[in-house]
Chain A
């Protein structure tokens, strides 16, 4: 099929896209050439047997496979660059098929909050569990390659480019890769330090990375030169970024024309995503305050004295796991969701999906009080906590409190029963080492943090909108 980019308003491939991708593949190819040289230095071989066809097999250097991979990438790069004129585009084959198998299966996973969150939580858990395998340089390198290839292939989709290519969204793509890279780097150091500490007899200096021959050096030149180079690098990146990408400027402000969707700045999209599950007074005011308060409280509730000044996992497993889940799944993953997947009417869209304003999603959320009274108690007893507008305030208040009693009881139990219960069971040592006050502060922040995923699960399983629903007082939980 011949697609003319000047006619198709939503072209998946254009000469500019192919040209850009050509450069991306070229960079990736060059990166792999360096990797290939690194593997070659290690001088490792693999035996190829080809199902016995080669007898005992032949030994080839492991670098050979990387060399083949790099040259394929280079070929792909030149293919993109030389075929990037309009006449070839219709015949170009290295692109995602619109609504094909890959696109639709990826979209069906990410465009569903349940699978999205389960995947992000499972991903973090697997990363922690398989960390020793993850930190192998080859594994890390392959993951980086897959991430870049995924991005490159996805760029051949028009709708994907529309979201990712928005100037203000570019930093989030960078954030994604940076967070991934630094998390890998953390595990790389932590796993090595864990191993060293396990075999340590407690004599001499603690045998963590960078601590052998840890001599004092003069700040001039060792630090100030590094800083100078860093400043020059950052300046170069900023200037290049500023020249290549224009800062966004939309139409002049108009309070009469509400854009759909209306989004907060990207770094607040995790908070805006919470609005789906909690009312503004919680999602927009209480929870952000709790996040700040919880962060401030961190050094005062962490009673673990070891693990200060080096990357480590085993010595601080609980605090690291809590922080990784908080930062990766409840903050970064929510920002990604809010930025890339939330479209018109705050509906969720796949990364390759067109943002259709008319997409309809059934909303049939219920309140806990409805589940309790309407479905359970009133049909049996005949009693319903209702009031008329003519009733006195005290009757109204009483009826509201009775109506919402199930939610209040659940919440009070959550915050008052769970902490002592955990103190005598799973968090016994914590309670003893922290003392009462510290433990209470700690568990309440922890329960607050868990409140978000818990409400999500309640929403997905029972369509639960509010535990406590008192619109009369603007009080919904």
Chain B
């Protein structure tokens, strides 16, 4: 007798809709085992579910105590997902051109259905900066960067930098006064990069037959902005950095960060 036939045979007794669905071939093709109601299936679910296999099957109680972890790493990752989802939705409306950028944000505020996505995206971004700091704060205070987790701390620092860069590049996109002047102030620093900025110490070192190679049209700031001032090229550059380049790198590093948590022995705990 095949499995489905057995189910059918069982269903001749009283069977709820839920049981019928869970007994169907479609359901069973997705979930290879019964619901995690007993110990065996609670273990199996962690091993067979793609999303859950991020976690181990079991952990020490202390390692997941909220007073210990503050949940800040988890919230940071969740906010990254929120930012990805709301960000993709916003990309359907927003056009990164001088002509449209501001108008599209205005429309998102005033007329677009679910324009609140922009609010969630912005507040989520601010919250992510804060939670990533607090995550680092607790990892430091619990000494969790110590061996064997040194390298994962390094990956974490890189993720912190990427979070700030994501927030910084996104700051320009509304193309209002707040945006361009914050980016102008922020990127003016690059002008003073030693050797590579045209107002930085030692920029004269890079010259060819007396002609400076580092000018306002070829220095570190120009590389960042794609222009001598914050303009349309900058908007395009920051848009691609914000929506594609940095998220891809961040996603890769997040994967490594999580992988290393498992490989370095799980959440840190007293030995």
Residue of B nearest to A187 (CB): B141
Is the pair B202, A218 in contact by a Cβ cutoff of 8 Å? no
* Most A C-beta atoms less than 10 A away, residue of B129, B157, B194: B157
B254 at the interface (CB under 8 A from A): no
Flag if A175 contacts B55 (CB, 8 Å). Answer: no
Q: Are A182 and B176 in contact (CB under 8 A)?
A: no
Contact yes or no, B182 A217, CB < 8 A: no
Question: Chain B: interface secondary structure?
Answer: helix
Residue of A nearest to B156 (CB): A295
Nearest-neighbour CB distance to chain A for B73, whole angstroms, equals 11
Contact B143 A308 (CB under 8 A): yes
Residues in B whose Cβ lies below 8 Å from that of A241: 119-120, 123
Please measure, in the bound complex, the distance between the C-alpha atom of A5 and the C-alpha atom of B230, giving whole angstroms. Answer: 40
Closest Cβ of chain B: how far from A196's Cβ, in Å?
11
Contact A281 B201 (CB under 8 A): yes
Chain A residue at smallest Cβ distance from B201: A475
CB–CB A473/B46 < 8 A: no
A205: B residues at CB distance < 8 A: 270
Asked if B45 and A210 sit within 8 Å, CB to CB, the answer is no
Contact present for B179 and A253 (CB under 8 Å): yes
- Given A252-B176, A281-B200, A309-B269: A217 and B134 within 8 A (CB)? no
State the CA gap A470–B200 with chains docked (Å): 12
A264 at the interface (CB under 8 A from B): yes
Asked whether A307 is an interface residue with its Cβ less than 8 Å from the other chain, the reply is yes
Count residues of chain B with CB under 8 A from any CB of chain A.
99
Binds A, one of B8-16, B21-29, B36-44, B239-247: B36-44
When chains A and B are docked, how far (Å) is the Cα of A242 from the Cα of B55? Answer: 31
CA distance A224 to B45 in the complex (A): 11
Q: How far is the CA of A250 from the CA of B176 in the complex (A)?
A: 5
**A246-B119 in contact given A186-B141, A219-B59 (Cβ < 8 Å):** yes
Contact B64 A300 (CB under 8 A): no
Does B20 have its Cβ within 8 Å of any Cβ on chain A?
A: no
Residues on B with C-beta less than 8 A from A220 are 36, 42, 45-46, 52
| Contact mask for chain B residues 177-218; partner A; CB cutoff 8 A; 1 contact, 0 none | 111111011101111111001011111100000000000000
Task: Report B-chain residues with C-beta under 8 Å of the C-beta of A473.
Answer: 201-202, 204
The verdict on A227 contacting chain B, using a C-beta distance below 8 Å, is yes
Closest residue of chain B to A258 (Cβ to Cβ) is B181
Does A310 touch B at the CB level, under 8 Å? yes
Supposing A205-B270, A206-B271 touch, asked if A230 and B141 sit within 8 A by C-beta, the answer is no
Whether the Cβ atoms of B120 and A210 lie closer than 8 Å is no
User: Contacting B123 at CB < 8 Å: which of A218, A242, A265, A306?
Assistant: A242
Chain A 253-270 against B: per-residue CB contact (8 Å), 1 yes, 0 no? Answer: 111011100111111100
- What chain A residues lie within 8 Å of B126 (beta carbons)? 168, 171, 266
Q: Does B153 contact A (CB under 8 A)?
A: yes
Q: What is the 8 Å Cβ interface bit string for chain B, positions 127-146, against chain A (1 contact, 0 not)?
A: 10110011011101111111
B124:A238 contact, CB within 8 angstroms: yes
Interface residues contributed by chain A, number (CB under 8 Å): 94
A369 at the interface (CB under 8 A from B): no
What is the distance, in angstroms, from A235's C-beta to the closest C-beta of chain B? Answer: 7
Among listed A70-78, A122-130, A284-292, A427-435, interface-contacting one: A284-292
Interface residues of A in 416-475 (CB under 8 A from B): 470, 473-475
Report the separation of the CA atoms of residues A182 and B202 in the bound assembly, to the nearest whole angstrom: 44
Known pairs A223-B59, A242-B119, A247-B118; A327 contacts B182 (CB<8 A): no
Inter-subunit contact A284/B142 (CB<8 Å): no
**CB <8 Å contact, B68 and A182:** no
Residue B106 at the chain A interface, CB threshold 8 Å? yes
Q: Mark A217-246, 1 if CB is under 8 A from B, else 0.
A: 111111110110011001100110111011
Contacts A218-B57, A226-B64, A267-B129; A252 near B177 (Cβ below 8 A):
yes
Q: Are B146 and A302 in contact (CB under 8 A)?
A: yes
Q: Is A20 an interface residue (CB 8 A)?
A: no
Whether A214 is near chain B, meaning CB under 8 Å from some CB there, is yes
Question: Given A280-B192, A281-B200, is A323 in contact with B102 using a C-beta cutoff of 8 Å?
Answer: no
Is the pair A267, B167 in contact by a Cβ cutoff of 8 Å? yes
CA A265 to CA B171, docked complex, whole Å: 8
**A334-363 near B? 1/0 per residue, CB < 8 Å:** 000000000000000000000000000000
A298: chain B residues within 8 A (beta carbon)? 140, 145, 153
Measured between C-beta atoms, what is the minimum distance from A468 to chain B in Å? 10
B31-70 residues at the A interface, CB under 8 angstroms: 36, 39, 42-43, 45-46, 52, 55-62, 64-68, 70
> Known contacts A247-B122, A272-B185, A474-B201; is A178 also within 8 Å of B134 by CB?
yes
Given A253-B177, A281-B194, do A178 and B130 touch, yes or no (CB 8 Å)? yes
Q: How far is the CA of A268 from the CA of B204 in the complex (A)?
A: 29
**Contact indicator A285/B154 (Cβ below 8 Å):** no
* Alpha-carbon distance A264/B185, docked complex (angstroms): 6
A284 neighbours in B (Cβ, 8 Å): 188-190, 192
Asked if A253 and B102 make an inter-chain contact with CB atoms under 8 angstroms apart, the answer reads yes
Q: Is A149 among interface residues, defined by CB-CB distance under 8 A?
A: no
Is there contact, CB below 8 Å, between A296 and B129?
Answer: no
Report the bound CA distance from A175 to B123 in whole Å: 13
Given A168-B178, A175-B130, A230-B71, A243 contacting B270 (CB threshold 8 A): no
**Docked pose: A258 CA to B192 CA in angstroms:** 21
Cβ-based interface call for B253 (8 A):
no
Instruction: Give the distance in Å from the alpha carbon of A145 to the alpha carbon of B219 in the complex.
Output: 52
Q: Identify which of B127, B194, B268 contacts A309 (C-beta below 8 A).
A: B268
In Å, the complex CA distance between A190 and B140 comes to: 13
Known: A218-B57, A298-B145, A473-B201. 20 other contacts (CB 8 A): A171-B127, A206-B271, A210-B62, A210-B68, A222-B61, A238-B82, A247-B118, A247-B122, A249-B106, A250-B176, A255-B230, A262-B184, A272-B185, A281-B194, A285-B197, A296-B154, A299-B147, A302-B145, A323-B141, A474-B203
Q: Can you list 14 A-B pairs with a CB-CB distance of less than 8 A?
A: A185-B70, A230-B71, A234-B78, A242-B123, A250-B177, A252-B177, A257-B177, A262-B185, A264-B186, A267-B129, A296-B153, A299-B147, A310-B270, A312-B143
A residues in contact (CB < 8 Å) with B = 168, 171, 174-175, 178-179, 182, 185-186, 189-190, 205-206, 208-211, 213-224, 226-227, 230-231, 234-235, 238-239, 241-243, 245-255, 257-259, 262-268, 271-272, 279-281, 283-286, 292, 295-296, 298-300, 302, 304-312, 316, 320, 323, 327, 470, 473-475
CB-based closest 3 A-B pairs:
A284-B189, A242-B119, A280-B192
